[in-house]
Amino acid sequence: MKLVGIAGSIAEQSYNRMLLKFIAAHFSDQVDVEILDINDIPMFNQDNDISQGDALQYIARKIEGADGVILATPEHNHTVPAALKSLIEWLSYSIHPLDGKPVWIVGASYYTQGSSRAQLHLRQILESPGVGAISLPGNEVLLGNVKEAFDADGNLKDEGTINFIHSTLNKFLKFVKLINHVDQEDDDAWKNEDLEANHPVDTSVTNVDKNAKDWVEQAAVKTNAVDGKAYVKLDRGLLTVDQLNWFLKTMPIELTYVDDNNQFIYYNKTMEGKKMLASRTPDQVGDKMTDVHPPRAIPNVKRVIHQLRTGQKDLVAMPVPGNNATKHVMHYYKAMHDEDGSYRGVNEWVLDLWPIVSSYLKMTGKMLVDDPNNQVDANAGASQAGAAASADTDASAGASESAEETETVDVDANSGASES
């Protein structure tokens, strides 16, 4: 579960930010909390709408991609700080990322009230029609006398307080699941992901048949593409196209570029297709996603790309079928973004983890043994991506009787992933 945390104070010394940091660190095994900074957001003014600017788009994208939001508010003059209110006004004017989003309000203050009045104001604000956030009812976390609450390492001192925050967090996580489940329409949004590549973007080369075997050559002519000894300026460096090719072809991973129109436009042709971990052939470049995946894989591909495009996930990792004790091939899908934070496609890389693990074992004289307490669902990557893995894989099945014999460790990580 992924949450974003926003501290309502822009003061340099903020106990509310400390409280968020504590929650993020202390419960990191349970939930992934990313803390956002709102210091650079200017005062809301309807005459000068900057909703489409970098700063607000960044925050909006983070909120949209998260399952829920934690707002930590101090109290000033019986209400929330102007900086927090200003942010919420921006997020309720021409963009509405908080709409339908589960929100957990917490607050720290220097004296006994613990921001109680500010929290009540905040609840009213969040439920206004333009904001539309859904705050967890009751369960007020009011951290009073905050100056004495933390130790030097930023940890809360009082065990009872930690337990209370933990139990409220658990309720919030259930609340998040419930609220996000209610929004069925959004659950199906991934189905609209267009794998036919019918929505050209500013970098798309149009009027070239995507299926053409020489798509690269045709598209290169259309765009007057440079090659060979021509120099390309990069962030950060200067290479000729030849140098760029030598460089990419010697990467110890198979790289694939799929642009934001779901068109396959590059791979670092390291060897011929059938020798690759994930086969690619020169004539496939230019193809739309539907032409390089079997029909049964299409729903998964749609889900993964949708998650990356919307920011629900930044990276999707999944093992492929056929892995065994001497091979553990992984596919990684990483969202790419431009300088404005807009989604620009998928960086896919494929590699076999086993040689890395194996050389580590050799160098250190260590060996793999089974963890008797192992609770890892070896299918996690695949099942998150929506694959049909439902079996409760017992990763220790093959090795439970002889934990010292590394050969017999047979992690079954393959049952679910249908991609390839």
Question: Interface with another protein by CB under 8 A: which residues?
Answer: 10-11, 42-47, 74-83, 85-86, 88-89, 92, 109-111, 117, 121, 124-125, 127-128, 130-131, 147
The single-letter DSSP state of residue 52 is: T
How many residues are recorded in the chain? 420
Helix H segments across 183-253? 184-187, 215-222, 241-249
Q: CA–CA separation, 395 vs 377, rounded Å?
A: 7
Considering beta carbons, is residue 49 or 196 the nearer one to another protein?
49
The single-letter DSSP state of residue 136 is: P
Considering beta carbons, is residue 128 or 279 the nearer one to another protein?
128
Considering beta carbons, is residue 101 or 280 the nearer one to another protein?
101
Q: CB 271 → another protein: shortest distance, Å?
A: 57
Buried/exposed 17-27: b ≥16 CB within 10 Å, e otherwise: bbbbbbbbebb
Q: CB 81 → another protein: shortest distance, Å?
A: 7
Considering beta carbons, is residue 46 or 184 the nearer one to another protein?
46
Considering beta carbons, is residue 80 or 389 the nearer one to another protein?
80
Q: CA–CA separation, 190 vs 201, rounded Å?
A: 19
Considering beta carbons, is residue 90 or 333 the nearer one to another protein?
90
The residue with tokens 């056929």 is 322
Q: CB 16 → another protein: shortest distance, Å?
A: 12
Considering beta carbons, is residue 80 or 179 the nearer one to another protein?
80
Greatest alpha-carbon span in the chain: 72
Buried/exposed 60-77: b ≥16 CB within 10 Å, e otherwise: bbbbbbbbbbbbbbbbbe
Q: CB 95 → another protein: shortest distance, Å?
A: 14
Q: CB 208 → another protein: shortest distance, Å?
A: 49
Q: CB 96 → another protein: shortest distance, Å?
A: 11
Q: CA–CA separation, 64 vs 17, rounded Å?
A: 21
Distance of CA 361 to the CA centre of its chain: 31
Q: CA–CA separation, 66 vs 3, rounded Å?
A: 5
Q: CB 10 → another protein: shortest distance, Å?
A: 6
